[in-house]
Chains A and B, each alone.
Chain A
């Protein structure tokens, strides 16, 4: 098996790509997809340490993370739908109504 450090580096790069997507994209849908990438990176870490420590707690928590990710996507996409209905756009930087 390959060392844990390599898997950690990989999942960290995946997380970094997700952070980059949230920071630099203007499309709300792409931002939600990047959030999914970040959740997956966290999940990979949990699975890696579940194998490293030979403990099932990591796998169980990965299931909980997936549960949270699914509800987050459902709510997030509902918010995007409501935004589009009211504003006719999902470009994040057009949604600055609260700016003073």
Chain B
């Protein structure tokens, strides 16, 4: 509590020192904070020094390091005894994922004299508190923005990362995760979700083109969508409003395809419309998958005059819904072979069946898509994955 109050007037740069000082009074020494980059490949120490607040800091890869393991598995992991501090026999060095319970922000390192359950709980508490402090400071921190980037970013991506909600949500028996690539050179892809009462609004958008105007188009579309939604418009009314706004701004020269959906998190009822986008995929029981059907009403802004049909689907507990853009399935390797829809769905099924959390699955999926495409995508690729537990959840592990 004292740490929370002390943090109110501290910028991001002062957090590591503040956290370490408070942790020391609770017996956790040499505490260090590491944040993960945008693509979740490296963990960089937040030192508070220099233009990126990371000068003089160590760096670990997410794949193949112990801190990376703690991050991937969202766990508390000790270093082997022999690597512990020599001057403190019996002491241990720990790595714990920094998470607000939903989004993974990085890892925290700490040394303790003992390894009992009370100590482990203190470490988890400290990581939770650190997550909340980072979240409260990063939105106005350029240092943080620099620290989590490993490449220069284009203007469209700068817009898109400010437009999207956090890449993770959990609540009311429902978990949502999202990934978007190329993280630094995105064009017109964007995802959105929001909660109102028991309704979870979901959307995935793809603005045509790959230039900055595509990014502007996507921004206008999402803003118009939220504006209509917040005034109580239905899905079809919302998409009509988006269409009108796009025509006013771009005179039918710019279009956006989208799936807009509402999930009732209490009943599992999904309602959705198709504005000329790839159809959603439903994964049930981890055994069978199906493409949901709804005739396309044409891209928003194209004014094709097609009827907007509303489709419904009753979820069963454990169902997962995949909304995605074409870059995921159409990424091509050197021989021109597409990553493909089957490989995409199969990947999610194999990795998200108890082996990994939803967000770790998405991280690995995007790494596989990028790898398939030799590390650089031509087209934008976005996935929004929603899992509905329908009251059968134990704890929601993001």
Q: Are A and B interaction partners?
A: no
